[in-house]
Chain A
Amino acid sequence: MGPGSSLLGRALRRVPARQPARSGWLQTEPGQSHRELSARGRRGGGSRAATGPGRAGGRIMFSLKPPRPTFRSYLLPPPQTDDKINSEPKIKKLEPVLLPGEIVVNEVNFVRKCIASDTSQYDLWGKLICSNFKISFITDDPMPLQKFHYRNLLLGEHDVPLTCIEQIVTLNDHKRKQKVLGPNQKLKFNPTELIIYCKDFRIVRFRFDESGPESAKKVCLAIAHYSQPTDLQLLFAFEYVGKKYHNSASKANGAPLGAGGSSSQKTPLFETYSDWDREVKRTGALGWRVCSINEGYMISTCLPEYFVVPSSLADQDLKVFSHSFVGRRMPFWCWSHSNGSALVRTALIRDVLQQRKIEQRICNAITKSHPQRSDVYKSDLDKTLPNIQDIQVAFVKLKQLCVNEPFEETEEKWLSSLENTRWLEYVRAFLKHAAELVYVLESKRLSVVLQEEEGRDLSCIIASLVQVMLDPYFRTITGFQSLIQKEWVMAGYPFLDRCNHLKRSEKEAPVFLLFLDTTWQLLEQCPAAFEFSETYLAVLHDSTRVALFGTFLFNSPHQRVQQSTEFAISKNIQLGDEKGLKFPSVWDWSLQFTPKDRTLFHNPFYIGKNTPCVQNGSVKSFKRTKKSYSSTLRGMPASLKNGIISEEELRPRRNSLILQVKPASLEPRDSQDWDAEQFFREWASRPADLHGTILPHLSGAHIKLWKLCYFRWVPEAQIQHGGFITVFHKLSLLADEVDVLSRALRQPRGGPVPASGPELAPSRLYFRAGGPHDAPGTPDFLSSSFPFSPVGNLCRRSISGTPLSKFLSGAKIWLSTETLANED
Chain B
Amino acid sequence: MEFAELIRTGQAQAELLRGPEEPPLRGTLCITGHHLLLSPGPQATPDLWLLLLRNVDSIEKRVAGDSGTITLRCKDLRVLQLDIEGVEATLDIARSIEVLLRAGQPLTGPQKRRCSEDEDLLRAVLAGAQPGARGFIVDTRSPQAAKQARMTGGGTEAKAAYPGWKRLHRPLETGRPLQESFVRLVEACGDLEQSMDRWLNRLESCRWLSHVKETLSTACLAAQSMEQEGACVLVHGAEGTDSTLLITSLAQLILDPLSRTMAGFQELIEREWIQAGHPFQLRCAHSAFSHARPKHEAPTFLLFLDCVWQLGRQFPLSLEFGEGMLLALFDHAYASPFGTFLCNNEKERCLCEVRTRTHSLWSGLSQPKEQRKLRNPLYVPNPLAIWPSAEPQSLRLWQGLFLRGTRPPEPSEVAWEKVWQIVTDQEKTEGSQPTDSASEAGP
Contacts and interface: CB of A to CB of B under 8 A. Distances in A.
Interface residues of A, number: 102
A717 B412 contact: no
Contacts of A618: 418, 421
Interface in B383-421: 383-394, 396-397, 399, 403, 405-412, 414-415, 417-419, 421
Contact of A44 (B23, B24, B387, B443): B387
Interface residues of B, number: 91
Interface string B208-241: 0110010001001100110111010000000000
B437 A744 contact: yes
Q: Which residue, of B213, B384, B410, B437, has the highest number of chain A Cβ atoms within 10 A?
A: B384
A730 interface: yes
Interface string A25-69: 000000000000000001111110000000000000000000000
Nearest to A419: B200
Nearest to B206: A415
A15 to B, nearest CB: 41
Contacts of A737: 426, 438, 442
A721 B79 contact: no
A570 B107 CA distance: 93
B71 interface: yes
Given A638-B196, A740-B442, A721 B384 contact: yes
Contact of A625 (B23, B69, B213, B426): B23
Contacts of B217: 806-807
Interface in A629-671: 629-630, 632-639, 641-642, 661, 663-664
Interface in A376-422: 407, 410-416, 418-419
Given A419-B200, A634-B406, A804 B23 contact: no
A684 B21 CA distance: 9
Contacts of B200: 415-416, 418-419, 424, 700
A618 B189 CA distance: 34
Interface stretch (A193-201, A355-363, A812-820): A812-820
Interface string A409-448: 0111111101100001100000000000000000000000
Contacts of B168: 814-815
A575 interface: no
Contacts of A711: 393
Contacts of B394: 717, 719, 784, 803
B23 A627 contact: yes
B33 interface: no
A150 to B, nearest CB: 21
Given A45-B384, A46-B385, A626-B21, A528 B316 contact: no
Interface stretch (A307-315, A366-374, A519-527, A555-563): A519-527
B442 A769 contact: yes
B119 interface: no
A758 interface: yes
A636 B79 CA distance: 11
B393 A697 contact: no
Contacts of B349: none
Interface in A692-740: 694, 697, 699-702, 704-705, 707, 711, 714, 716-724, 726-727, 730-731, 734, 737-738, 740
A779 to B, nearest CB: 11
B228 A701 contact: no
Given A44-B387, A726-B316, A807-B224, A622 B414 contact: yes
Interface string A452-487: 000000000000000000000000000000000000
Given A45-B385, A803-B391, A635 B190 contact: yes
A744 B441 contact: yes
Given A636-B406, A734-B423, A688 B411 contact: yes
B387 A804 contact: yes
B136 interface: yes
Interface in A753-808: 758, 768-772, 776-778, 784, 802-804, 806-807
A719 B136 CA distance: 26
A789 to B, nearest CB: 16
Nearest to B378: A730
B194 A663 contact: yes
Contact of A738 (B199, B228, B386, B422): B422
Interface in B18-48: 19-24
A475 to B, nearest CB: 13
Contacts of A814: 166, 168
Interface of B: 17, 19-24, 69, 71, 79, 81, 83, 134, 136, 166, 168, 189-201, 203-204, 209-210, 213, 217, 220-221, 224-225, 227-229, 231, 314-318, 378, 380-394, 396-397, 399, 403, 405-412, 414-415, 417-419, 421-423, 426, 437-439, 441-443
7 contacts: A626-B20, A700-B199, A717-B391, A721-B386, A722-B388, A723-B314, A771-B443
